[in-house]
Structure 1
Amino acid sequence: MGRAAAADVIEKMKSLLKEKETIRMVFASAPSQNEFLETLKNASGIDWERVTVFHMDEYIGLKPKSEQSFSKFLCDRLFDGVEPGKIHLINGLNNAANECQVYSELLNEAPIDIVCLGIGENGHIAFNDPPVADFNDPEKIKMVMLDEVSRQQQVNDEVFPHLDDVPTHALTLTIPALMSGSHLYCIVPGLTKREAVRKTLTGLISEIIPASILRRHPDCTLYLDKDSYNE
């Protein structure tokens, strides 16, 4: 599944790089993305020097080199291996308001071409959990308090040993920022995601299931396995 998603993303990257001098991409940080990122890292024929990369969320209070940091996750699994032309990382140690302003300005410099994302157990995309999700959010990035279901998922994913170890706040790209990408590739494996996937595909389009908004995107591809979708 991750390999299939990577094959499609690679094809799209190569196609866009024939049309444009540079492309801009946003990546998710989660174990669900591992196969996808590994395949992308080992792909040949991509001129990564012409690619600008972003990531979609980061914990507040973690050092960028912390083992649980999302920026470190992506650097270890992709960025350090392919060396994109520009890497824009969210720094969770900076003043949150200032970091949001700086990152928003970077996002606004040009349109986002490709967004590679997942869906959380509570239906979140990035860290837009149901209590804070806003389909009409005026911001590009914001500070949020994390839903306990979302924090527990980090324990389930073995990112943190205990719930109390998971930070309570994060910076996240907003739903409009994610939806602004021209091409979305959503990778969702695992039995723990099955209910969220079902509601995403068949429920009301509502902030109660933030990922449901993906049904309104003109070019979003969803990649599932037999655990996350079995109907």
Structure 2
Amino acid sequence: MNLFKISKNEDFAQTGANLVAGLLQTNPRAVLGLATGSSPISVYEELISMHRRGLVSFSKASSFNLDEYVGLPADHPESYRSFMNRNLFDHIDIDLARTHIPNGNAPDLAAECRAYDAMLEEQGPVDLQILGIGGNGHIGFNEPGAGLEGGTHVVGLLPETRQANSRFFPSIDEVPRQAVTMGIGTILKARQILLLARGAEKAEAIRKAVRGPITTECPASLLQTHPNVVVLLDEEAGQWVD
């Protein structure tokens, strides 16, 4: 893993955006793996700025998002489709037909998971996968446990994950209890991974992910097995790693 601790917000955003933009400049048809959450937002904002200045184009690129809530309407403001439209897609020149997010409202969720993996196999591998990290070490919505699913699957969200996400909803009762997520095996197929973490509440998870043992109890620790991971941290998230 290549770790970078960055003190200024603008430098954090610029570093992450430069990695994405550099890929698109050398490979305009790149397949991007995208994440939601607070950590990627400043990177997306910088990519929007770079696009408006004519420095990067997404016109030939395609994207696959990590996950989506189950049972939340696609037009709900907290669905991950709405998040991506609001924070990135509506402001760049990407073809929305080539932006893929799991359908958490599919009548047959198992079939939706199989179809999503089939699309990834056909169009992938992902050239650059952006990840955030949960306070319990989850990536995507792969929660800690005795074992982890390799492919896209439906997962029950742990209470701490629902509590962390409740800040986006009127109450925790409205936070969905399930999600569709890429599995760890799918994530690890990406050619390169960019892990983003900001804030002191992520420090322990980052320590376990990058310096602790490889264990399914910290799903992010499995990133240690990947040959090309960039970990971008602010000072608070990186306070316990060198």
* TM-score (norm: length of structure 1): 0.91
Q: Paired residue for 1:122, among 114, 117, 136?
A: 136
The code of the aligned residue for 1:201 comes to: V
Q: Distance in 2 between matches of 1:138 and 1:221?
A: 22
Q: Does 1:33 align with 2:40?
A: yes
Cα root mean square deviation, aligned: 1.5
Cα displacement string for residues 42-96 of structure 1 (whole angstroms, at most 9, x for unaligned residues): 2133231210111101110001110110111011111121132311122211121
How many residues matched?
Answer: 222
Q: Which runs of 5+ in 2 are unaligned?
A: 1-11
Q: Distance in 2 between matches of 1:133 and 1:160?
A: 30
Q: Does 1:49 align with 2:59?
A: yes
Q: Distance in 2 between matches of 1:211 and 1:161?
A: 29
Q: Which residue of structure 2 aligns with residue 162 of structure 1?
A: 171
Q: Distance in 2 between matches of 1:201 and 1:104?
A: 27
Q: Distance in 1 between matches of 2:170 and 2:101?
A: 25
Q: Provide closer, same or farther for how the CA distance between residues 90 and 132 of structure 1 changes in structure 2, counting only shifts above 3 A.
A: farther
Aligned-partner SS, 2:201: helix
Q: Distance in 2 between matches of 1:186 and 1:33?
A: 9
Q: Does 1:103 align with 2:110?
A: no
**8 Å Cα contact 1:133-1:175 kept in structure 2:** no
Within a 5 Å distance, the mapping from 1:10-159 to structure 2 comes to 10-17=21-28, 22-43=29-50, 44-85=54-95, 86-95=98-107, 96-109=109-122, 110-131=124-145, 134=148, 137-139=149-151, 141-155=152-166, 158-159=167-168
* TM-score (norm: length of structure 2): 0.87
Q: Which runs of 5+ in 1 are unaligned?
A: none
Q: CA deviation at 1:138?
A: 4.3
Q: Distance in 1 between matches of 2:76 and 2:19?
A: 31
Higher relative contact order (CA closer than 8 Å, sequence separation 6+): 2
